[in-house]
Amino acid sequence: MLAEYWPVLLFIGVATGLGLVLLAVGLLAGPRRPEAEKLAPYECGFEAFEDARMRFDVRYYLLAILFIIFDLEIAFLFPWAVVFQQIGVIALVEMALFLLLLVIGFAYVWKKGALEWE
């Protein structure tokens, strides 16, 4: 039974060994010149001016969730389009209903003002 898993175990062993060798070479051959500028946290070129644990506006999270919802729902159109010839007219009606619900949800979100910034 071990013979069946031999290629997988060999691959895992070689990958682990190669990773450890590369880490060791980097530690042994790499330069060690820590400087104050190099050890400072990178803040996109700006000095850190606020606490990292400040509260974010909930609209950022709302917009991210809405993007994920509408983006993933549209992703359902691609597999449907590939097999459209085999599934027929009933699937066309179902997809039209799905898109109608998606548009109603988008209109609701837009009407509530979730996409607007002050």
Q: Where are the domains of the chain?
A: 2-112
Helix then strand then coil, % of the chain, to nearest 5? 70, 0, 30
pLDDT in tens, the chain (118 residues): 778 899 999 999 999 999 999 999 999 998 888 888 777 766 665 556 666 677 767 778 888 888 888 888 878 888 888 888 888 888 889 889 988 998 998 899 889 888 887 6
Answer whether 43's CB lies under 8 Å from 54's CB.
no
Write out pLDDT tens, residues 23-52. Answer: 999 999 988 888 887 777 666 655 566 666
- Model-level pTM? 0.48
CATH topology assigned to domain 2-112: Methane Monooxygenase Hydroxylase; Chain G, domain 1 (1.20.58)
Answer whether 80's CB lies under 8 Å from 74's CB.
no
